[in-house]
């Protein structure tokens, strides 16, 4: 009788003690029997290490030491992982019950699949539902051209073969290293979305999805300048335009107005964008005026939601 493949879930963490225990339980309490959890903590100064010590007997491995960021922590964890199927869960996200079994079943159904992903649910700090994050179709050319990741990372799993072919994760990346990885995987083999909700994705001021606009802007510039040129991916030049324009938006959000202008101009030379033109015009205003404009735009967006 064929045994289930071992699944290794790596948790990168840094000063997320208020969420870490919930994350660990969501992984270790899965109904899938052949699973190991590994935690790579970046020398946290909160109670994270105490939490890890409490759960040490249920973890395959954990460490707490300085590292070079999330991608480096994940590579360190994957180097220790023994599984045939790999994945990661950020220390402020959770897996929903049955998530691992559902994804493994899909991988087992089609041996050619390299990566499977599903839906997630955005939640707030208290875990209250905000809105769903759907699993959009995996369309490599569209994802590249729009510089938009359709793969919902929490709950996704990939074969070790995918990591061996497309990894390791780019440790120079901040926000988009997972996007680079799934593009490489998708250029080498099959990736499939499933219509199942697999995880929660927590939105809070310290999360990458909500904060750090300056770091995100610089990562989009990196993608445009370093990753897409020479990648041979379909839509790469259109993707560079999208990356510059998105970087311009994040620079604008961070009130880094000279950087915003440079990025927006680089994008607009490649593609017309009404939104880009509006932001370019606003970026020449004094910084003291841009802040209130940005606040009104946020309030309008919130009211529409």
What percentage of the chain reaches a pLDDT higher than 90? 88
**Full DSSP string of the chain:** -PPPPPEEEEEEESS-HHHHHHHHHHHHT-S-SSEEEEEEE---SSSHHHHHHHTGGG-SEEEE---S-HHHHHHHHHHH---SEEEE--TT-EEPTTHHHHHHHHHHH-TTEEEEEEEEEEE-TT--EEEEE------HHHHHHHT---S--TT-EEEHHHHHHH-S--TT-SSSHHHHHHHHHHHHSEEEEEEEEEEEEE--TTSTTTS-HHHHHHHHHHIIIIISTT---TTHHHHHHHHHHHHHHHHHHTT-HHHHHHHHHHHHTTS--HHHHHHHHHHTS-HHHHHHHHHHHHHHHHHH-
The string of pLDDT tens digits covering residues 35-61 is 999 999 999 999 999 999 999 999 999
Q: If pLDDT is split at 50, 70 and 90, which confidence band does 305 have?
A: very low
Q: If pLDDT is split at 50, 70 and 90, which confidence band does 203 have?
A: confident
Q: If pLDDT is split at 50, 70 and 90, which confidence band does 170 have?
A: very high
Give the pLDDT of residue 289.
81
Does residue 293 carry a pLDDT above 90? no
Does residue 301 carry a pLDDT above 50? no
Residue identified by tokens 């569209």 is 142
Does residue 304 carry a pLDDT above 50? no
Does residue 143 carry a pLDDT above 90? yes
Give the pLDDT of residue 69.
93
Once rounded to an integer, what is the mean pLDDT over residues 248-266? 96
Q: If pLDDT is split at 50, 70 and 90, which confidence band does 2 have?
A: low
CA 172 from chain centre, in angstroms, equals 14
**Average pLDDT for the chain:** 93
Query: What is the C-alpha end-to-end distance of the chain, expressed in Å?
Result: 52
Q: If pLDDT is split at 50, 70 and 90, which confidence band does 163 have?
A: very high
Does residue 275 carry a pLDDT above 90? yes
Give the pLDDT of residue 209.
65
Once rounded to an integer, what is the mean pLDDT over residues 117-132? 94
Does residue 210 carry a pLDDT above 70? no
Residue 61 C-beta-side C-alpha neighbours within 13 Å: 14
Give the pLDDT of residue 175.
95
User: Residue 39 in contact with residue 54, Cβ under 8 Å?
Assistant: no
Does residue 14 carry a pLDDT above 50? yes
Least confident of 116-130, 212-226, 255-269, 280-294: 280-294
């Amino acid at each position: 009788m064929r045994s289930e493949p071992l699944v290794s879930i790596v948790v990168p963490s840094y000063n997320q003690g208020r969420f870490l225990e919930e994350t660990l339980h969501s992984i270790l309490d899965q109904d899938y029997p052949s699973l190991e959890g590994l935690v790579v903590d970046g020398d946290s100064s909160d109670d994270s290490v105490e939490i890890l010590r409490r759960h040490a007997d249920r973890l395959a491995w954990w460490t707490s030491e300085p590292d070079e960021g999330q991608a480096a922590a994940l590579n360190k964890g994957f180097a220790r992982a023994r599984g045939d199927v790999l994945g990661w869960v950020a220390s402020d996200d959770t897996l929903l019950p049955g998530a691992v079994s559902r994804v493994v079943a899909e991988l087992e159904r089609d041996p050619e699949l390299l990566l499977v992903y599903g839906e997630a649910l955005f939640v707030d700090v208290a875990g209250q539902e905000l809105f769903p994050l759907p699993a959009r179709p995996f369309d490599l050319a569209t994802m590249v051209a729009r510089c938009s990741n359709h793969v919902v990372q929490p709950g996704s799993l990939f074969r070790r073969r995918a990591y061996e072919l497309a990894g390791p994760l780019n440790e120079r990346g901040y926000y988009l290293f997972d996007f680079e990885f799934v593009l490489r995987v998708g250029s080498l083999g099959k990736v499939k979305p499933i219509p199942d909700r697999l995880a929660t994705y927590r939105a809070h001021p310290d999360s990458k999805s909500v904060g750090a606009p300056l770091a995100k802007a610089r990562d989009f510039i990196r993608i445009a300048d370093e990753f897409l040129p020479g990648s041979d991916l379909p839509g790469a030049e259109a993707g560079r335009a999208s990356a510059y324009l998105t970087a311009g938006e994040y620079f604008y959000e961070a009130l880094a107005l000279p950087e915003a202008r440079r990025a927006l101009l680089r994008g607009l030379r490649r593609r017309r964008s009404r939104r880009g033109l509006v932001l370019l015009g606003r970026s020449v205003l004094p910084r003291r005026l841009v802040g209130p404009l940005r606040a009104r735009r946020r309030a309008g967006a919130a009211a529409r939601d």
